[in-house]
Amino acid sequence: MEVFSINSSLKNGFFYTAIGKFSLVFTNLLVNAILSRILTPSEYGVVAIVQVFILFFQILVEAGIGPAIIQNKNLNNKEISILFNYSIIFAFILSMFFGFFGIVLAKIYQNNIYLNLSWVQSIAIFFNGLNVVPSAILNKNKQFKTINFNQILSSFFSGLIGIFFAIKGYGVYSLVFSAIGLSFLFFILNFIRASIVLTKKLDTIVMRKILGFSIYQFSFNFINYFSRNSDNILIGKFLGPIDLGNYSKAYQLLMMPNSVLLGIINPVLQPVLSDYQDDVETIKKTYLKIVRFLALIGISLSVFLSLFSKSIIYFIFGKQWGLAVFPFQILATTVWIQMTLSSTGAIFQSRNKTKDLFLTGLLSAIILVGSISIGILTNDLNKLSIILTVGFYINYFVNFSLVMKLALDDNLFTLLKELRIPILIGFIEFLVLYVTKFILPSSLNVFIDLLISGVIFVIIFAILLFVTGEYKKILLLLSKE
């Protein structure tokens, strides 16, 4: 009965989240394809710098409250309303700080555009802060259908806002207005469906109820922010906005598969597995199936995206982004690492071990920031991409060793056994696609090139799934049986 319950909850969550995520990615990809042809790499670089610090302030405003609300099963409606009041205060204070932070950005990057840009973007930070509690409530109640519908709707209209202002010649501000529209609409829709009862009360006792969980969650988010965004900060400072614009495009494509699949799996994992936080075997058995599935998809995508990086960049963003091709080609080999490793946070959360989550985040920061710093010293974006890729591989094995030991009471070899078939499939795909790449005429239109190679990739992948029997495991993962 327990297995049926967890599989049923996961399948329901995956289904609606998948619909939401694929719709969201399609919308964002379409909007990005349009905006990339209107805006320049330099303009994207300016916004990329702002986005880095926006993520930091969003971590501050979230303060680990969202996951803590999901994990704590004893919070009543009144206490949630009080937590919402605290989120309003945090959101207002930090949005004001971000507005003034534009002065710092203008001096660091020697561009006065940040003086006004930071105040406009602070509006998005405020509404993102207000959305923390409503989103957590919907996830806690496993209302995955509702939250994903709200996200699709918000993304669609915010994309239209961005395109409208870009056509009108607003440049970098078109991206900022799009972000504001997204944060505002997403908050309004979630707030209505979360049915939060407003109150004027503030009570520190309520904050203390979630403090033990949220403080380590916040600390992990804080550290993880720097390890994941130090590349943008340092590249923007030492290599300039053009290199940053090209790097951000490469990294955006690198993280897209991760965003899609982990955007489907992670929001579901903690709400569902938190009901089994003391049952290590159930969580481990479920998680290893998910890791195997993610590796199966991720390794295959790593092969395809790396081999056909040039056609992918040119088709999606246009030929003006040629300098993003090599960084993407190298970084794409880590797609499977991003996909499998990004899921570990939900396991620590569901096991109520955010202290251990913070430890893994600290080690990741040391490895990744160290790799980026070494890469910056080369003063070459291509060399930096190679060094960062090596850092990602080192980080993978270090972190998964800790996950298996601290959260799942096991060892790394148990996990590596799950990767044997995905690696074999990836190797065969590499051989076939490598030959395909050199057979196809170089004069082919990029769309035709991607179409032919993509069809071959899908056919080979499907054949290998049947030959190895992996399709049965995928069906079993998604079934209620």
Higher per-residue pLDDT: 425 or 74: 425
481 pLDDT tier (thresholds 50, 70, 90): very low
pLDDT, tens only, 433-443: 999 888 888 77
pLDDT at 4: 47
In contact, 118 and 105? CB cutoff 8 Å = yes
**Reduced to 3 states, what is the DSSP secondary structure of residue 195?**
coil
Contact 278, 237 (CB under 8 A): no
What is the 8-class DSSP label of residue 406?
A: I
| Average confidence (pLDDT) over 168-179 | 80
Residue 182 contacts residue 46 (beta carbons within 8 Å): no
CB 167 within 8 Å of CB 38: yes
Tell me what the mean pLDDT of segment 63-72 comes to. Answer: 73
Is pLDDT of 3 > 60? no
The DSSP code sequence of 75-122 is: --HHHHHHHHHHHHHHHHHHHHHHHHHHHHHHHHHT-THHHHHHHHHH
The rounded Cα 198 to chain-centroid distance in angstroms is 31
What are the tens digits of pLDDT across the range 250-274? 887 888 777 766 667 766 776 777 7
pLDDT of 322 above 60: yes
More confident: 369 or 272: 369
Residue 357: both structure tokens together = 């989550």
Greater confidence, 286 or 395? Answer: 395
pTM here is 0.71
pLDDT digits (tens, 9 = 90+) for 430-476: 999 999 888 888 778 888 989 999 999 999 999 999 999 988 887 77
Percent of the chain, pLDDT > 90?
A: 26
Mean pLDDT, the chain, whole residue set? 82
**416 pLDDT exceeds 50?**
yes
Residue 442 φ/ψ, nearest 5 degrees: -70, -15
Query: By mean pLDDT, which of 43-47, 129-133, 303-307 is the weakest?
Result: 43-47
- Is the pLDDT at 39 greater than 70? The verdict is no
Radius of gyration for the chain, computed over Cα atoms and rounded to the nearest angstrom: 22
Per-residue pLDDT, 11:
65
pLDDT at 46 over 80: no
Is the predicted pLDDT of residue 373 greater than 70, yes or no?
A: yes
* In the chain, % of residues over pLDDT 70: 86
Angle 46-47-50 from CA coordinates, rounded to 5° = 100
Residue that has been written with the tokens 């409606």 in this structure: 77
Residue 327: pLDDT band with limits 50, 70, 90: very high
The pLDDT of 191-217, averaged and rounded, is: 78
Which pair of structure tokens corresponds to residue 139? 């996830």
296 vs 465: CA distance, rounded Å? 9
Flag whether pLDDT at 28 surpasses 80. no
Q: Residue 6 pLDDT more than 70? A: no
- Range with the lowest mean pLDDT among 297-311, 344-358, 366-380, 405-419? 344-358
Q: Using 50, 70 and 90 to split pLDDT, how confident is the model at 112?
A: confident
* CA dist., res. 312 & res. 383, Å (int): 21
pLDDT at 1 (0 to 100): 41
Burial label, 278 (beta-carbon count in 10 A; 0-12, 13-18, 19+): exposed
Mean pLDDT on 401-419? 91
Is residue 412 packed enough to be buried (19+ CB in 10 Å), middle (13-18) or exposed (0-12)?
A: middle
Within 8 A by CB and 6+ apart from 253, the residues are 305, 312, 313, 316, 328, 332
CB 136 within 8 A of CB 5: no
pLDDT of res. 140: 80
Alpha-carbon torsion 162, 167, 169, 172, what sign? positive
Q: How far apart are CA 42 and CA 46, in angstroms?
A: 6
